[in-house]
């Protein structure tokens, strides 16, 4: 298992039938554990994906589907464990790598004209579309970076009421009477004698 891509499900584009292909799969315990470590999660209790692939003209493939997962995180307020559900839709076009620059330029032109532009296509690498990697990317992007329990409320620290508790109160103890230390006045230079 590749540590950077633990969830693998490669599809050979040339083997996708004209009427399309459906694929559904679940991540194993080992894969979920590896993904949780990569994403910095407490755990991934379940992860599944379902995809439909439809060939398009020019060797392109339209991929639609859904990624579902249940993940374990830590509440940013209480530091208690929390579990969150992910249900992420997928709708992407994959294209041969050599077509990507031209297709990306068309997307940029549409954006400059303020037209509704589709996302640039994803590259088909070595004739393959890795649905596992696609599912992993979708799952990771859907993770809430600041998870919190539903009832968790952030309470700012209370104001310090007792001046003796102030962080700088210890400085006052440097002189017994609390007065600032005396500073030495600069000595005056002797005045020169008047000329004769």
Pick left, alpha or beta for residue 104 (phi over 0 → left; psi -120 to 50 → alpha; otherwise beta). alpha
Pick left, alpha or beta for residue 126 (phi over 0 → left; psi -120 to 50 → alpha; otherwise beta). left
The per-residue pLDDT for 148 is 87
The per-residue pLDDT for 116 is 58
The per-residue pLDDT for 3 is 58
The per-residue pLDDT for 180 is 58
The per-residue pLDDT for 98 is 87
pLDDT tens, 54-90? 999 999 999 999 999 999 999 998 899 999 999 999 9
The per-residue pLDDT for 135 is 97
What are the C-alpha distances in Å from 68 to residues 33, 72, 152, 178? 16, 14, 25, 65
Residue 42: which residues within 8 A CB-CB, separation 6 or more?
36, 71, 72, 73, 74, 81
pLDDT tens, 170-181? 666 565 565 655
CA atoms within 13 A on the CB side of 156: 2
The per-residue pLDDT for 196 is 47
Per-residue pLDDT of the chain (196 residues; tens, 9 = 90+): 555 789 999 999 999 999 999 999 999 999 999 999 999 999 999 999 999 999 999 999 999 999 999 999 999 988 999 999 999 999 999 999 888 887 666 556 655 555 555 678 899 999 999 999 999 999 999 999 999 888 766 666 555 555 556 666 666 656 556 565 566 666 565 555 555 4
- The closest of 82, 61, 66, 40 to 138, measured between CA atoms, is 66
User: What's the whole-model pTM score?
Assistant: 0.70
Average pLDDT, the chain: 83
Q: Quote the DSSP letter at residue 6.
A: -
């Amino acid at each position: 298992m590749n540590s950077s891509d633990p969830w693998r499900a490669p599809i050979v584009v040339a083997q996708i039938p004209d009427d399309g292909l459906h694929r559904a799969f679940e991540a194993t315990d080992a894969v979920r554990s590896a993904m949780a470590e990569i994403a910095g999660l407490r755990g991934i209790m379940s992860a599944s994906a379902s995809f439909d692939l439809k060939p398009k003209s020019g060797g392109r493939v339209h991929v639609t589907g859904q990624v579902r997962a249940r993940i374990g995180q830590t509440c940013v307020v209480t530091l208690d464990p929390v579990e969150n559900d992910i249900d992420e839709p997928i709708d992407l076009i994959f294209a041969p790598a050599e077509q990507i620059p031209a297709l990306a330029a068309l997307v940029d032109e549409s954006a400059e004209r303020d037209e509704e532009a589709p996302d640039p296509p994803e590259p088909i690498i070595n004739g393959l579309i890795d649905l596992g990697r696609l599912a992993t990317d979708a799952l990771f992007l859907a993770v809430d970076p600041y998870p919190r329990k539903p009832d968790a409320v952030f309470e700012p620290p209370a104001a310090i009421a007792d001046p003796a508790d102030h962080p700088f109160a210890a400085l006052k103890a440097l002189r017994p009477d609390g007065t600032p230390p005396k500073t030495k006045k600069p000595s005056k230079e002797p005045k020169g004698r008047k000329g004769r």
